[in-house]
């Protein structure tokens, strides 16, 4: 059998591998009329027209306020204020085109 130290090291290595894979896959992309939010193996698409506002707070991070009142927290994928400004510009560009 395996001794406890080897088993612990193996479990920690597996968890670190899963965490690394999750972090590598996490992203937020603006694709045409959609914002695509990928966290690990979960993917969510939101239509630009449903985004009312974009918020950034140092404590809570980046979030979207949708037109139905729902708040969507975005994963930390870079410099928060810069990401918020980019998403705000994308939302405003969509409003001007409408």
pLDDT tens per residue, range 2-21:
799 999 999 999 999 988 88
Spatial CA neighbour of 40 closest among 54, 59, 20, 55: 20
pTM, rounded to two decimals: 0.74
Q: Is the pLDDT of residue 80 over 80?
A: yes
Q: Is the pLDDT of residue 98 over 80?
A: no
Q: Is the pLDDT of residue 26 over 80?
A: yes
| Nearest-angstrom CA–CA distance, 20 and 49 | 33
Q: What percent of the chain has pLDDT over 90?
A: 70
Mean pLDDT of the chain: 91
| Nearest-angstrom CA–CA distance, 34 and 9 | 42
Q: Which residues pair with 47 in a beta bridge?
A: 34
Q: Is the pLDDT of residue 23 over 90?
A: no
Alpha helices for the chain (secondary structure H): 4-25, 80-97
55 phi, psi to nearest 5 deg: -125, 140
Spatial CA neighbour of 95 closest among 37, 49, 44: 49
Q: Is the pLDDT of residue 93 over 80?
A: yes
pLDDT of residue 43: 92
């Amino acid at each position: 059998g395996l001794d406890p130290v080897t088993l612990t090291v193996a479990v920690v290595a597996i968890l670190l591998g899963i965490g690394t894979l999750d972090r590598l896959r996490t992203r937020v992309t603006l694709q045409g009329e959609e914002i695509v939010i990928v966290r690990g193996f979960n993917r969510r698409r939101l239509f630009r027209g449903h985004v009312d506002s974009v918020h950034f707070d140092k404590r809570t991070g980046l979030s979207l306020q949708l037109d139905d009142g729902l708040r969507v927290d975005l994963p930390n994928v870079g410099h928060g204020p810069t990401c918020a400004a980019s998403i705000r510009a994308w939302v405003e560009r969509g409003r001007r085109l409408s």
